[in-house]
Amino acid sequence: MNTLFGEKKAEAKKIVLTSVDQYPEAPISLGTTLSNFTGDWRTFIPVVNEDKCVKCYICWKFCPEPAIYIKPDGYVAIDYDYCKGCGICANECPTKAITMEKEEK
């Protein structure tokens, strides 16, 4: 599995595309979504309850931002620099392991 997001994310965040040749042919996530921090859009924040999580990664597939990553222990975690608080993950999680809570700022 390609892990550009996941553990290597901290590195990926540093990517700044400085020449046109570094861009992908089509505008897919790489380099566009990553450089766009959507984390300050939120009112509600997703919180993962590992007791209920069955590691199905449906949340990971559905998240429209590069906000969910898989930790080395297999559970999912949320990168709040990118999470815009849309709640799709909470809605799609089959075990209701993700809840949306009002964010205290």
Q: In whole angstroms, how close is the CB of 84 to ligand SF4 at the nearest point?
A: 5
Nearest to 98 by CA among 56, 47, 55: 47
Partner interacting with residue 3 (select from ligand SF4, another protein, none; CB below 5-8 Å by kind): another protein
Partner interacting with residue 85 (select from another protein, ligand SF4, none; CB below 5-8 Å by kind): ligand SF4
Residue 5 interacts with another protein (CB under 8 A)? yes
Nearest to 46 by CA among 67, 64, 61: 67
Residue 20 interacts with another protein (CB under 8 A)? yes
Distance of CA 94 to the CA centre of its chain: 18
> Helix or strand or coil: residue 78?
strand
Residue 10 interacts with another protein (CB under 8 A)? no
Question: What is the spatial distance between Cα 99 and Cα 97, in angstroms, rounded to a whole number?
Answer: 7
Binding residues for another protein, per CB under 8 A? 1-6, 17, 20, 23-33, 35-36, 60-61, 63-64
